[in-house]
Amino acid sequence: MPGVAGRPRGFDEQEVLNRAMAVFWQKGFDATGIAELESATGLGRQSLYGAFGDKRALFSKVVEHYFERVVEPGLVAVLDAPGSARANLERAFTSWEETALARDFNGCLVGNSVSELGLRDPEIAGVLQRKFQLMEEALCRTVRRAQAAGEVNAKLDARATARALLTTAQGLAVVVRVSRDRAFVQNVISAARRLLD
């Protein structure tokens, strides 16, 4: 006799993750209560826990979702696109500037979470560190491609440059949460560009 399939979920998991992501991204892990997640997702506590586990497990899934929905298309895919690697880096810089100046920008969910949870939750810290490594790898690949094409200084240490660019982007994402000063943001992006020369 064939197995009986479980009862289908009455909600769109990706949409629930989108809504939970918005709350965690704006408020952070600690300041986000289960009641807020229930309100945002339209699911009761039992349904949330049944589908995703506890708040911490839901947050881990949200981090994965954020990387797939925000970082992959917004950074990794931009850097790995065909054509000029230097032009791809310039597109990333332009995106960083525009995003940092957007009124509703809440920083980088990965970076925010590192500062909040990194020292007290080694498991979550490991997940976040792997996301940083994926961003670093994308930047490093692109710097190396640009070097091979003669588009940036061939003497640069590609790995160190990628790390400096990632740290610049993350630092900018933190600072602009308290000040949306256009000149400051433009100066930081200009300094990032000069790292390639």
The domain of 169 spans 60-194
Return the pLDDT at 1: 42
188: CATH: 1.10.357.10
Residue 10 inside a domain? The answer is: no
Residue 52 inside a domain? The answer is: no
Total domains in the chain come to: 1
Q: What is the mean pLDDT of residues 50-59?
A: 92
Residue 103 inside a domain? The answer is: yes
Tokens of 100: 């940092």
Q: What is the pLDDT of residues 148-183, one digit of tens each?
A: 999 999 999 999 999 999 999 999 999 998 888 999
Q: What is the mean pLDDT of residues 64-72?
A: 96
Residue 175 inside a domain? The answer is: yes
Residue 176 inside a domain? The answer is: yes
Residue 157 inside a domain? The answer is: yes
| Predicted confidence (pLDDT) at residue 6 exceeds the cutoff of 60 | no
How far from chain centre, in Å, is Cα 24?
A: 13
Are the CB atoms for 99 and 105 separated by under 8 Å?
yes
How many CA atoms does the CB half-sphere of 49 hold within 13 Å? 6
Residue 50 inside a domain? The answer is: no
Return the pLDDT at 179: 87
How many CA atoms does the CB half-sphere of 2 hold within 13 Å? 3
Residue 8 inside a domain? The answer is: no
Instruction: Read off the pLDDT band of 119 (50, 70, 90).
Output: confident
Instruction: Read off the pLDDT band of 118 (50, 70, 90).
Output: confident
